[in-house]
Amino acid sequence: MSLPRDSNRENCDINRQREKDTSGLCDLSESGGMVEADGGGGGDCAGISLHSQHTDCTQHTCFPDGHSLQTPGHQQLIALCVTHTHTHTHTSGTLHLLTMASLEEELTCSVCRDIFSKAHPLPCGHSFCSPCIREAWSDQREGKSRFTCPQCQEEHGEVLCDSCPPEVEEGQPPLAVKTCLRCEVSLCAEHLKPHLERPAFSTHLLVDPLGDLSQRRCPTHTEILRYYCADERVYVCGDCLLEGDHAQHKVKALRQVEEDLKVILQTLLRKAEEKLKDGERILKEHENIDSTMADSLKQDDTQVERLGSDLQFQVKKLVSALREITKRERQQVIEHVHEDCSKVREDMSQMLSIQHYLASLLAETDPFLLIWAFQSDDTKLLADLNSPLFIPETVSVDRKHILEDVESKYREFITATLRCLSELKRELLTSPLTLDTNTAHPLLSISDDLRSVTRVKNRLPCATHPERFDHWPQVLTVQTFSSGTHYWELEAVGFWDIGVCYRSIGRKGKEGKAFGNNKVSWSLTQQHDRKLAAWHNRRKTRLTYQMTGNRVAVAVDYGAGTITFSEVGPSSNLTHLHTFTTTFTKPVCLGFGLYKAELNSRISFIKV
């Protein structure tokens, strides 16, 4: 019995008719060695004498049909050939022959069912003829960048070089490192050199190895898709431009589309980075509210202690109640701040993912994959980028109901202490405010602590911002309020506007953008001659009263829809100036306008 011989293995023939100068010498001993063949442990294989130490004989050629190992008294056939390896095994003087069925199965390509002409092993351990594995992979599903072993179906990511011959002398066939879309071939490092070195190939588009170009071909003309139609958002080939409906459309080469798209992606990336910076600013400002509010509420406890010492035994109950209420309110405020911060972090996390995604798109070298990836996600991506970041409403403590409880329980006991209670009320209703530098006109200088603003003669350098006032020298506070009662005291000098407005007030241009000259703002103005006027929706109300000092109190009761301006006297007594009554529909904030730098116009928050 013998194994069939492959007709393509002429290079594997060996000379079975060697002439030997010395009979009985081992033909596999090193050159020049005169070693006698060992009759007990060696033998002759197809005319080759074997010493016992060479009974296990490994050759880099294939033996022809009918290998026979001859030993005294024994003749057996053995052929153990796995990718050009022949092993003759001697055991206890008797050569053990593997069963031919299992041997043939091991040496047979599972694709062509023939003995290996040249084995190509896969990482999974199975081997195939090189031409067979090429053909098997070429027949696999279109669009696959990874290929499967025909026997065990394990996936492999190899793409073979199209320019290397199927029959490789040594080792595995070279793998492709790039695919040329112009030549429609995958090339190994050696065959890629002309594309990298010769000017004639400079316009050829090289991408990462592609196992299948079918998705890159026009389904109508079978040509490689080298262009992109912006009107229909599809890839087209050269024949589509000549024969199809795309002649009048906006069609560009993929490389040009890639360049244009990367410009867009750079813009979107910058926009994402800007929004991340805004998110960080908002988060930082809002996180500061936690500590600021805690400090403010701690001061409330101090004021309550002072009140307790004045009201003695009866008021101690009030103190206990206020402590409990402030504790509950503090906890609610902190929880609210943490929830808002969590929402801002979620928005920032989403924007960071978009930033990484855009950066990964910019790093993509394959224009086809770049355009495909962006086109598949551009609608959602743009929607996410254009959606506003979550801006938390300023957390405030509604102390009105606290004070109402206190007054209802102890009104009969605190007649003598109404003045003290009035001072406490103003202190409790005061919410910490800071000025928003992004809204400040360039003629306004904001203090480092963001609690004071001064009019200057020359414009200050500042970045362009969509929220900045560009005509009227005005600025808004960061914090807004949509509930509760609030109270602030200000020091206002020179020619000024103190306004309460919605954040939606216009920032650009002159017409209708000044405080009080529109439906979304209410203001008190002191002119250069110290005359006062109240403004709303372009309507001016002249006030006959003239202030003697520079301290102004502003009280906002959101639920009642009232804005009250008062002058604060030397003994902290309040003189009513004007009250607006309206119905608030949006969160409100404070805003300041300053005119006449020569008057040293300025406004500062005063700690109550």
pLDDT tens for each residue of 5-40:
333 333 333 333 333 333 344 433 333 333 344 444
| Per-residue tokens: 416 | 């003598």
Are residues 286 and 393 in contact, defined by beta-carbon separation less than 8 angstroms?
A: no
Considering only residues 321 and 4, tell me which one the structure prediction assigns the higher pLDDT: 321
Q: What is the DSSP letter of 217?
A: B
pLDDT for the residue 106: 67
Cα gap 70→426, rounded to integer Å? 117
pLDDT for the residue 318: 67
Residue 54 has pLDDT above 90, yes or no: no
Contacts of 606 (CB under 8 A, 6+ apart): 489, 490, 491, 551
For 219-246, the pLDDT digits (tens) are 888 888 888 888 888 888 888 888 767 7
Q: If you search the block for the tokens 């409906």, which residue do you land on? A: 245
pLDDT for the residue 408: 66
Contacts of 147 (CB under 8 A, 6+ apart): 137, 140, 155, 156, 157, 158, 211
Contacts of 525 (CB under 8 A, 6+ apart): 496, 497, 498, 516, 532, 533, 534, 535
Helix axes 400-410, 254-363, angle to 10 degrees: 40
Considering only residues 410 and 452, tell me which one the structure prediction assigns the higher pLDDT: 452
Nearest to 567 by CA among 484, 492, 474, 516: 492
What integer is the mean pLDDT of 179-202?
A: 85
- Picking from 197-206, 493-502, 504-513, 528-537, which range would have the lowest pLDDT averaged per residue? 197-206
Are residues 256 and 370 in contact, defined by beta-carbon separation less than 8 angstroms?
A: no
Residues 565, 520, 444: CA angle, nearest 5 degrees: 70
Are residues 392 and 308 in contact, defined by beta-carbon separation less than 8 angstroms?
A: no
Contacts of 512 (CB under 8 A, 6+ apart): 506, 518, 538
Q: If you search the block for the tokens 């030549």, which residue do you land on? A: 183
Residue 567 has pLDDT above 60, yes or no: yes
Nearest to 227 by CA among 245, 246, 253, 204: 253
pLDDT for the residue 155: 61
Q: If you search the block for the tokens 């979107």, which residue do you land on? A: 268
Cα gap 144→141, rounded to integer Å? 6
The distance in angstroms from the start CA to the end CA of the chain is 111
Q: What is the dihedral of CA 152, 153, 159, 160, to 10 degrees?
A: 30
Residues 503, 506, 511: CA angle, nearest 5 degrees: 145
Residue 303 gets the label, from left (phi > 0), alpha (psi -120 to 50) or beta, of alpha
Residue 394 has pLDDT above 70, yes or no: yes
Residue type, 547: M
Cα gap 394→525, rounded to integer Å? 26
Cα gap 308→303, rounded to integer Å? 9
| Per-residue tokens: 585 | 């529909």
Cα gap 411→416, rounded to integer Å? 10
pTM higher than the cut 0.85:
no
Burial pattern 553-569, b for ≥16 Cβ within 10 A else e, equals bbbbbbeeeebbbbbbe
Are residues 526 and 495 in contact, defined by beta-carbon separation less than 8 angstroms?
A: yes
Cα gap 241→153, rounded to integer Å? 41
Helix axes 254-363, 367-386, angle to 10 degrees: 60
